[in-house]
A and B are shown apart, each in its own frame.
Chain A
């Protein structure tokens, strides 16, 4: 039952990613894609909050799976981040690729730390 809820939550997360990415792309004025950056940073602050909260509520493990593994796992994406960076590399934009990949990692780590700090 939990496995089914995790999968359905992952489907909803993927739809949320699709909509947020479309919305960000429409307003992005940079020459580097920003949708996946926004998605992954927000997913990390939210997962940090979930993990921090569940640490104080051990009985809520199922909720952590549905929200963390399911919704936020389906919402965030590693493969698209890699492909966006790879496209920058293949276009000869090495510095943009490094800033894109490194910036996403650092911002996401800071976001997860912030999320953990809010709820734990």
Chain B
């Protein structure tokens, strides 16, 4: 459990991050969203977000315990920015729209490809983070006991 004051600070980070991520998504949707066909804007947003979140969370987990600045980054950038940037509700309503527009092939392919590629890219992000950080955080040579 965290103190009430600390909880409020974390909620503030989630709020600011969520507002930034949402603004970025709204801007991209406004610039690139198409009224019909494959929803490329949401597709790209969700896949980029899945990769970056996998990378970020794996990097943080490998760096040390979830406290202090690591928790702040996880909640501000992960839960806030990337959580607000990506969207499941718009994604699902796009599928309903494709169904009602009679675009059956895209209505079946779009959700399946999104979910599968989202998983693949999240795994890829984690693997990249693991490459960068190595198997575990190792003590530096100074910290190593003499053999």
- For chain A, the bracket of interface size reads 35 or more
* Number of residue pairs spanning A and B whose beta carbons lie under 8 angstroms apart: 194
| B86-102 interface code vs A (CB 8 A; 1 in, 0 out) | 11111111011000000
Q: Which residues of A contact B23 (CB under 8 A)?
A: 3, 6-7, 10
A73 and B53 within 8 A (CB): no
**Listed stretches B64-72, B111-119, B131-139; interface member:** B111-119
Given A9-B22, A18-B75, A79-B46, A43 contacting B15 (CB threshold 8 A)? no
What is the number of residues of chain B that contact chain A, defined by CB distance less than 8 Å? 50
B123 and A78 within 8 A (CB): no
Most chain A CB neighbours (cut-off 10 Å) among B15, B79, B92, B122: B92
A79 CB contact (under 8 Å) in B19, B82, B111, B123: B82
Cα-based distance from A50 to B1 in the complex (angstroms): 36
B92 and A7 within 8 A (CB): no
A15 at the interface (CB under 8 A from B): yes
A44 and B122 within 8 A (CB): no
Most chain A CB neighbours (cut-off 10 Å) among B18, B86, B89: B89
Q: Which B positions have Cβ atoms within 8 angstroms of A?
A: 10-11, 14-23, 25-27, 29, 45-46, 49-50, 52-54, 57, 75, 79-80, 82-93, 95-96, 111, 114-115, 118-119, 121-123, 126
Extra 13 A-B pairs, beta carbons < 8 Å, given A83-B122, A86-B126 = A7-B22, A10-B84, A11-B16, A14-B18, A14-B80, A18-B11, A73-B22, A73-B25, A73-B90, A74-B84, A82-B50, A90-B123, A108-B88
